[in-house]
Amino acid sequence: MALPTRSAASEAPRRLILDIANPRSRINRALWGELPEDKERVYPRNVEVPSGGGIGTARGIAKAYGVFATGGKELGLREETLKELMAPAIPPIRGFHDEVMRLDGMQMSLGFMKPGPGNLFGHSSSFGMLGFGGNFGFADPEAQVGFAYVANLNGLYLMDPRQDELRTAMYRSIGEKNPVLLGKGGTCR
């Protein structure tokens, strides 16, 4: 099976790659180091970072997002909370720009990434987050499904292009059209 070609939209920006290698950059410090806790006594997996720092299997991540996508009852979430998560991201005064990831256009809301022109991944009510090396998970409340892609070979991706076909197959398996393809005038293959 041939791997899909990498597109500019799925690759990590060169500046981000350089920043990861720079020990003084924000992303390097966030990924590798400067935990405010005592490193001698705090195991890094115990540090809670909302919508980041998660460790899990694709099945576990998809299950968690699936709970969000189907009303959040297992988590005791209120309807108002889910409505806020499903709402469009509100642009900051200076526009959508992530200083740590060096990205323009990444729409964030309440700690989650939202679909937008540069990040097409689900219906407009969807929300999720990128993971290190191209891993990705999201909830799609309109389709009532959670999705996760966890690569066994991480690359220099923001969104690994290999997950596109899996996401299309997932939507097809539940009788939905892939919203990304519909937005581009395509249909589910």
Mean pLDDT of 28-57: 60
pLDDT attached to residue 54: 67
List the strands of the sheet with 108-109, edge to edge: 108-109, 112-113, 127-130, 136-140, 145-149
**Three-class SS state of 32:** helix
CA neighbor of 11 nearest in space, from 130, 181, 148, 165? 130
Residue with structure tokens 């350089």? 18
pLDDT attached to residue 79: 93
- The beta-strand segments (E) located in the chain are 97-98, 103-104, 108-109, 112-113, 127-130, 136-140, 145-149
Lowest-pLDDT range of 24-28, 63-67, 132-136? 24-28
Mean pLDDT of 99-108: 75
Alpha-carbon distance of 19 to 91, in angstroms, equals 25
Domain ranges within the chain, ordered by starting residue: 52-183
Which helix (H) or strand (E) segment is 173 a member of? Answer: helix 162-173
The fraction of the chain above a pLDDT of 70, given in percent, is: 72
Alpha-carbon distance of 25 to 114, in angstroms, equals 25
CA neighbor of 146 nearest in space, from 179, 172, 110, 171? 171
Mean pLDDT of 82-111: 84
- Does the pLDDT of residue 109 top 60, yes or no? yes
- In this structure, what DSSP letter does residue 88 have? P
On the CB side of 110, CA atoms within 13 Å amount to: 12
pLDDT tens by residue, 48-85: 455 556 678 899 999 999 999 999 999 899 999 999 99
User: What average pLDDT is seen over the chain?
Assistant: 77
